[in-house]
Amino acid sequence: MTARRWSVLVVVFALSMSVAWPAIAHAAAAPTKIVMQTPNALPVQKSDPQSVMVLGAMLSTADGKPVANQKVEFLMVTDILGKTQASVGTVVSDSGGSARTTFVVRKTGPYQFTAKFAGNDAFGPSESPVLKADFEALPSKVQTQLVDLRQVGGMLPWAALALGLAIWAVLIVVLVRVAVVVPRAARGAGPRGA
């Protein structure tokens, strides 16, 4: 085999490896599994709005060995304009394969979360099953009595409109008065220079 053929062979090998390597590497990566954990009492818990929920995930290999120092992304599954996943945060797993983040519950209702590991050369990707949680409002600690302000609220636009119209009226009266009185006074004074 001539040197020219060898060089062609090397180039072809290099090109094919650059294309195929990610697939080969991925196939060689250890499979992983990821499971969501929640220290809070889920799936149903009563909560004040603004309360903080801790989301946790355990990343491990298929045989249960913890996978440390890998990025785990927590996602909230939403139904706004179709099924989408909104990122809650990305956390690096600790030596025990555990990753934790917090989520502020802004309103009551059902929530769905999932955790994702994108995978790399050493470990394959994985996604946890969806974790469902339902937040019900706690009775308020402060006893308040609702005051019905609808009547006052209903009057406000009319008051503002009346004020606006009053200003318009003042401006129109001023302008009309000037436009009428000034020329009339000039006419009453006789011809100019007289």
Instruction: Please report, as ranges, the residues that interact with other proteins according to CB under 8 A.
Output: 76, 78, 80, 86-89, 104, 157, 160-161, 164, 167-168, 170-171, 174-175, 177-179, 181-183, 185-187, 189, 192
- Sole residue written with tokens 């053929």: 5
Q: Which is nearer to other proteins, 28 or 160 (by Cβ)?
A: 160
CB of 89 to other proteins, least distance (A): 6
Q: Which is nearer to other proteins, 63 or 79 (by Cβ)?
A: 79
- Sole residue written with tokens 């802004």: 106
CB of 139 to other proteins, least distance (A): 23
CB of 114 to other proteins, least distance (A): 13
Q: Which is nearer to other proteins, 15 or 104 (by Cβ)?
A: 104
How far apart (Å, rounded) are the C-alpha atoms in residues 165 and 160? 9
How far apart (Å, rounded) are the C-alpha atoms in residues 10 and 8? 5
How many residues are listed for the chain in this entry? 194
How far apart (Å, rounded) are the C-alpha atoms in residues 113 and 74? 7
CB of 160 to other proteins, least distance (A): 6
- Sole residue written with tokens 């406000």: 156
**Which residues have C-beta within 8 Å of that of residue 40, sequence separation ≥ 6?**
53, 54
Q: Which is nearer to other proteins, 56 or 124 (by Cβ)?
A: 56
Nearest to 119 by CA among 35, 27, 17: 27
CB of 131 to other proteins, least distance (A): 16
Q: Are 67 and 32 in contact (CB under 8 A)?
A: yes
Q: Which is nearer to other proteins, 64 or 191 (by Cβ)?
A: 191
- Sole residue written with tokens 């009775």: 139
